[in-house]
Amino acid sequence: MTPQQVLVVDDEPSICWALEKMLQREGHEVLTASSAEQGLRLAAEQHPALVILDVRLPQLDGISALPQFLKATDNAPVIVITAFGDLETAVAAVKNGATDYLTKPFKLDDVSRVCRQALRESANRAAPTATQPMTIDSSTMVGSSAAMQQVFRQIALVADSDLSVLITGETGTGKELVAAAIYRHSRRADQPYIPIAPVALNPDLIESELFGHVKGAFTGAAEDRPGLFERAENGTVLLDEIGDLPLGTQVKLLRVLEQGQFCRVGDVTPRSANVRVLAATNCDLHEQVGSGAFREDLFHRLTGMQIHLPPLRERQEDIQPLCHHFLAAMHYASLDSAIDDTLLTQLQQRPWHGNIRELKNAIEHAAVVARGRPLTIDDFPPPKPGRDQDADAPSQRVQLAKAVREWTAEALRQSDDSTETLHADFLAATEPALLEAVLKHTGGNRAKAAEMLGIHRGTLRDRLRSYGIADTV
């Protein structure tokens, strides 16, 4: 890379020295300053190609000074560094025009990589627009760990774009909070935000809920009705538990992402959809793509950026600030002394299978029991039992889909690709077990079983007889 002039602004001499030596080894000329004011003077005089700017400075802080550095350097890239990383700082830095954001302590290799990328892209990158610092509600996301700093950085970088984002992580890690933060700091923040979990909807009505329907499209469709994507026009949609979306609906969602169009159920007239799509899942979509339960093209469309939330057991240093946050929200009386070192160690040793959600519930339980005094481990409910050993295995739906494909492939091989009896053979192999299981669940009540199966009672009776199980259930 062509040597450039780089300005480092930090009031810690050791940081300036380390960055200066690293950049000089890469052939760059380095200027250093210990305050924003000194840095601005150097920037106006020398017009460096890159600025590395600390947030906490003696007088004028880096976030406030950032627009001035952009103006003084004709919009040279600015990399913000700080030892006090949180979502508010990360988003404010990017909103004010920062190219990237790093938290101390950092690896020099990471700084080098970010600098190279910033310098490489600066010639072709549109000039960043300096805006006024945002007023951020950072109360919903708490974390000082390196893992959470990376999450904050990703939110800050992607929020103001229109990229689709896939948010992954175990149940209770805060995926919905990440989605809400992306929306809150986006250019669509004054437009609708609609979170929805398609798996919670009636399977027969998912497409109607997402895309709307026209009058007469199905029984009960007495009038035209807009769906989720119409109601969220110009705004943002969160599709939670995206891994459970039926394959047929996945095709229609792909059309929204690729073409910005959809059709209401029962209609053939395309409608436009100017909507940003966020998705969340606690399952392995790579595995579902491999099994055929999730479309590969849709997976790639959803992952403009992927943000992964690690489980709480992998970021134990966040337990203390999270506890303090939850107690402060309750206006707990002895907040400063509520959790001593002994209790903190005990809490950090718990597995927290339910992640932040479990921790929040446990803190609230303990606070009620303690009634304002410092908490002890006896105030907490017992740890939640661990997940089943098969919890990380593919979901039942994924396993079923895989089994059906394997059965079909084997049946086609044995029948020389004849498909005349394939459907009947499949029903004969699977439907008796389904009918028996449902009847067992209803205690032999055929009317209720027929209702659950969505078939007429007479049809159920005929099928039971055809399989020879009418008198055995």
Q: Extract the tokens encoding 72.
A: 């003084």
Average pLDDT over the chain reads 83
Structural domains counted in the chain: 4
Residues 6+ apart with CB under 8 A from 150: none
pLDDT at 27 over 50: yes
The amino acid sitting at 108 is L
pLDDT of 70-116, one tens digit each? 888 888 889 988 876 677 777 888 877 888 888 877 888 888 888 88
Shared domain check, 298 and 171: yes
126: pLDDT strictly greater than 50: no
The reply to whether 281 and 368 lie within a common domain is: no
CA–CA distance, 325 with 139 (Å, rounded to integer)? 8
* Domain span holding position 363: 313-379
Same domain, 204 and 305: yes
CA distance 243 to 299: 10
Q: Pick from 349, 379, 409: which residue ends a domain?
A: 379
| Same domain as 326, residue 285 | no
CA–CA distance, 115 with 121 (Å, rounded to integer): 10
Q: How confident is the model at residue 280 (pLDDT cuts 50, 70, 90)?
A: very high
Residue 406 lies in a domain: no
- Residue 74 and residue 170 share a domain: no
pLDDT digits (tens, 9 = 90+) for 227-249: 888 888 999 999 998 988 888 88
Domain end position, chosen among 287, 309, 331 = 309
Question: Which of residues 379, 398, 433 is at a domain's end?
Answer: 379
CATH of the domain at 80: 3.40.50.2300
Q: Which residues on adjacent β-strands are paired with residue 276? A: 236
Please tell me whether residues 172 and 297 are part of one structural domain. Answer: yes
Q: Is residue 412 part of a domain?
A: no
Residue 459: the pLDDT is 84
Residue 87 covered by a domain: yes
Q: Which alpha helices (H) appear in 27-107, and where do they start and end?
A: 36-46, 62-72, 87-95
Rounded CA separation 280/306 (Å): 10
pLDDT at 298: 92
Three-state DSSP state, 82: strand
With respect to residue 397, please indicate whether it lies within any of the assigned structural domains: no
Average pLDDT over residues 28-51: 90
Please check whether residues 336 and 436 belong to one and the same domain.
Answer: no
Structure tokens at 146: 């390196």
Single out the residue of 401, 456, 387, 472 nearest to residue 430, CA to CA: 401
Closest CA to 4 of 46, 50, 41: 50
* Tens-digit pLDDT profile for residues 306-344: 999 999 998 889 999 999 989 988 888 878 888 999 999
Residues 431 and 347 in one domain: no
- Which of 31-60 are b and which e, b meaning 16 or more Cβ less than 10 Å from the residue's Cβ? bbbbbbebbbebbeeeebbbbbbbbbbeee
Provide the CATH number for the domain around residue 243.
Answer: 3.40.50.300
Q: In Å, how far are 17, 231, 249, 263, 425 from 246, measured between CA atoms?
A: 56, 22, 5, 17, 24
3-class secondary structure, 338: coil
The CATH number given to whatever domain includes residue 439 is 1.10.10.60
CA angle 464, 469, 473 (to 5 degrees): 100
Residue 403 forms part of a structural domain: no
Residues 74, 105, single domain; the answer is: yes
d(CA 273, CA 250): 16
- pLDDT cut 90: percent of the chain above it: 23
Is residue 290 domain-resident? yes
Q: Is residue 65 part of a domain?
A: yes
Question: How far is the C-alpha of 359 from the C-alpha of 366, rounded, in Å?
Answer: 10
Residue 406: which pLDDT band, with cuts at 50, 70 and 90? confident
Q: What is the CATH number of the domain that holds 370?
A: 1.10.8.60
258 within a domain of the structure (yes/no): yes
Mean of pLDDT values over 114-142: 55
Helix or strand (DSSP H, E) at 168: strand 165-169
Question: Do the Cβ atoms of 35 and 58 come closer than 8 Å?
Answer: yes
Looking at the fold, whether 112 and 199 belong to one and the same domain comes out as no
Distances (CA, A) of 277 to 104, 274, 429: 32, 10, 40
What are the φ and ψ backbone dihedral angles of 388, each rounded to 5 degrees?
-60, 150
CB 94 within 8 A of CB 160: yes
- Residue 446 corresponds to which tokens in the numbers above? 């055929």
Partners of residue 50 on adjacent β-strands: 6
Partnered with residue 31 across adjacent β-strands are 7
**Residues 214 and 278 occupy one common structural domain:** yes
* pLDDT one-digit tens code per residue, 343-392: 999 999 999 999 999 999 999 999 988 888 889 999 999 888 765 444 44
Q: What is the dihedral of CA 283, 289, 294, 298, to 10 degrees?
A: 110
Same-domain pairing of 166 and 77: no
